[in-house]
Amino acid sequence: MKVLFVDAGNYCRSPAAEIVARSIAARAGVSGWQFGSAGLKDKHVGDTADPRSITACAERGYDLSAFRCRQISDADFQIFDLILAMDRDNLSQLESRRPVGAVVTIRLFLGDREVPDPYYGEADGFASMMMQIEQGVRHLLAG
């Protein structure tokens, strides 16, 4: 199963989701899963993740320091089996960018809930983001 986490810029939420998913799957001995992340915008392409995301991940035992942001491509709609949007706006944009003939499943990461973007919020928004991502990843891997 190949899973792609997507948010606006691949800067806060989706990089954290990617590293959390990789780490939890590895720690649990879950095999056969691959994880990636991408952003809808090109603003941060090549940059590290938001320093606050890096810190929030590190505080929970995840190393996001080597991560580099990237923008989603048409090929992602063919490569991945599941694309998970962090919020409804991301979901809408993904559906509108879906290439003709792409049959990949696209849905919200947390079912019917969003992972709020902590970028403009308070510092505790990153801690809340991490708790939601960890819960969501555990649920995803449990099937």
Which CATH number do you get for residue 17?
3.40.50.2300
- pLDDT recorded at residue 121: 83
* SS3 of the chain: CEEEEEECCCCCHHHHHHHHHHHHHHHCCCCCCEEEEEECCCCCCCCCCCHHHHHHHHHCCCCCCCCCCCECCCCHHHHCCEEEECCHHHHHHHHHHCCCCCCCEEEECECCECCCCCCCCCCHHHHHHHHHHHHHHHHHHHC
* Stretches in the chain below the pLDDT threshold 50: none
pTM, two decimals, is 0.97
pLDDT digits (tens, 9 = 90+) for 6-26: 999 999 999 999 999 999 999
- pLDDT recorded at residue 131: 97
- pLDDT recorded at residue 95: 97
- pLDDT recorded at residue 123: 67
Range of the domain at 58: 2-142
- pLDDT recorded at residue 143: 82
**Among residues 84, 136, 87, 134, which one has the least CA distance to residue 114?**
87
**Number of domains observed in the structure of the chain:** 1
